[in-house]
C-alpha cells in the first residue's frame, strides 16, 4: 500500500459525506450491534514501563486522512487518531504536555528526524524500509478486506464455497484483487478500472459480490450512493502479506522507550473501553 496506508480513503469518505465523527445518537444506537475489533492484548504489559521525561510530547499528523485525521467544519484538527492521542496522553498523565500538529504527510518523517516532534500518528506504513530508521508501536488498527453483496443475496460462510463459480467484482491491479485470487480461487473475478464502477455493477446485479477494503466499504454502505442496497457478507479477512500491518505510532529508533509506553497506554484504554468508544464515534458501520 506504499508509505501512506489507504490514502484513497479520503476521497471515498468525502464522497459519502462522512468527514466528521458519527452523531452520538447513531453511535449509541448501534453500540449493541457493531462488531468491535481488538488488536491489543491488554495482558501483554501489565506493568507500566518507564516513560521518558520530556518537556513536551509532540505528535505529528496530517490533515487529509479522514476519518483518522482531518480538519472539521470549524477549522479544527480532529479525527480518530487525534482523539486517540489525547486518550493515550491522559492515560499516561501527560495530557498537559501533549501537543498535536498537522503537517503535509510527505514532510512528517523529516520533521521527526529534525526534532520537530516525538511521534508520528498519521497512517505511516509499517514496512521493512521504515523500520530501518523508525520504531513503531504495536498495530492498533488493521484494514480488513470484506465482501459486500446485495441484501437479496444469501452469501454466508464459508465464503470460498459461497462465491465459487460466481462473478465477484474487484478493482484491477489492487492488493484486494490479488487476495481474492489467492484465498478465493474458485470465484470468477471481474476486474473493473475503478471502485465506483465495481460497486455500480454490484448494484445492477451484474456481479454477485464486490471484494475490497472494509473501511471504505463501511462508509459506502452508509452513504446515499449505496441506497441501502447492500451489506457485508462473510469476513472480515486480514492479511499482513496483502494488506500490511495496519496503523501504528512511529518514533525515532532511539526513542523506542516512548513507543513501549504508548503500547502500555493502548492496552489500558482498550481495557477501559475508551478505544471502543472512539471506534463507535468514527465508524458507525463497523468494518469488522
Intra-chain end-to-end CA distance of the chain, in Å = 20
Q: How many Cβ atoms from other residues are within 10 Å of residue 31's Cβ?
A: 13
- Distance between CA atoms of residues 254 and 177, nearest Å: 38
Q: What is the residue extent of each domain of the chain? A: 9-142+245-282, 145-243
pLDDT digits (tens, 9 = 90+) for 98-107: 999 999 999 9
- 254 is written with which cell numbers? 532511539
- Please give the backbone phi and psi of residue 284, each rounded to the nearest 5 degrees, phi first: -65, -30
DSSP string, 185-206: TTBEEEEESSHHHHHHHHHTTS
The three-point CA angle 113-116-120 to 5° equals: 70
Angle formed by the axes of helices 256-271 and 274-282, nearest 10°: 80
- Distance between CA atoms of residues 171 and 201, nearest Å: 12
Range list of H helices, the chain: 9-16, 24-30, 80-91, 108-113, 128-131, 159-162, 175-183, 195-203, 214-221, 240-243, 256-271, 274-282
Peptide bond into 236 cis (omega under 30): yes
- Distance between CA atoms of residues 103 and 58, nearest Å: 12
DSSP, collapsed to helix, strand or coil, labels residue 257 as helix
**CATH number belonging to the domain at 145-243, selected among 2.60.40.10, 3.30.930.10, 3.40.50.970, 3.40.190.10:** 3.40.190.10
Architecture per CATH, 9-142+245-282? 3-Layer(aba) Sandwich (3.40)
Asked if residue 48 lies in contact with residue 264, where contact means CB atoms within 8 angstroms, the answer is: yes
The three-point CA angle 262-264-265 to 5° equals: 65
Q: Point out the residues of the chain with pLDDT beneath 50.
A: 1-2, 6-32
Q: What is the pLDDT of residue 46?
A: 64
Q: Which of 149, 159, 212, 148 is nearest to 185 (CA)?
A: 159
Asked if residue 115 lies in contact with residue 130, where contact means CB atoms within 8 angstroms, the answer is: no
Amino acid at each position: 500500500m506504499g508509505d501512506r496506508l489507504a490514502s484513497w480513503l479520503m476521497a471515498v469518505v468525502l464522497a459519502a459525506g462522512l468527514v466528521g465523527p458519527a452523531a452520538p445518537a447513531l453511535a449509541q444506537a448501534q453500540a449493541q450491534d457493531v462488531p468491535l475489533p481488538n488488536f491489543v492484548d491488554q495482558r501483554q504489559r501489565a506493568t507500566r514501563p518507564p516513560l521518558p521525561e520530556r518537556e513536551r510530547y509532540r505528535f505529528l499528523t496530517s490533515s487529509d486522512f479522514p476519518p483518522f485525521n482531518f480538519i472539521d467544519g470549524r477549522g479544527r484538527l480532529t479525527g480518530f487518531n487525534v482523539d486517540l492521542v489525547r486518550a493515550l496522553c491522559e492515560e499516561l498523565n501527560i495530557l498537559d504536555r501533549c501537543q498535536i500538529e498537522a503537517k503535509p504527510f510527505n514532510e512528517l518523517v523529516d520533521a521527526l528526524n529534525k526534532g520537530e516532534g516525538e511521534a508520528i500518528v498519521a497512517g505511516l506504513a509499517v514496512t521493512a524500509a521504515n523500520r530501518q530508521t523508525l520504531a513503531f508501536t504495536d498495530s492498533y488498527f488493521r484494514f480488513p478486506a470484506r465482501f459486500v453483496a446485495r441484501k437479496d443475496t444469501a452469501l454466508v460462510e464459508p465464503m470460498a464455497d459461497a462465491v465459487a463459480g460466481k462473478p465477484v467484482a474487484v478493482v484491477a491491479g489492487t492488493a484486494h484483487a490479488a487476495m481474492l485470487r489467492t484465498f478465493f480461487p474458485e470465484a470468477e473475478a471481474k476486474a473493473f478500472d475503478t471502485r465506483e464502477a465495481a460497486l455500480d455493477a454490484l448494484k445492477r446485479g451484474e456481479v454477485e459480490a464486490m471484494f475490497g477494503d472494509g473501511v471504505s466499504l463501511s462508509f459506502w454502505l452508509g452513504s446515499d450512493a449505496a441506497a441501502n442496497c447492500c451489506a457485508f457478507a462473510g469476513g472480515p479477512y486480514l492479511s499482513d502479506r496483502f494488506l500490511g500491518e495496519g496503523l501504528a505510532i512511529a518514533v525515532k529508533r532511539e526513542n523506542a522507550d516512548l513507543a513501549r509506553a504508548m503500547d502500555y497506554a493502548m492496552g489500558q484504554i482498550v481495557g477501559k473501553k475508551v478505544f471502543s468508544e472512539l471506534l463507535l464515534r468514527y465508524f458507525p458501520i463497523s468494518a469488522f
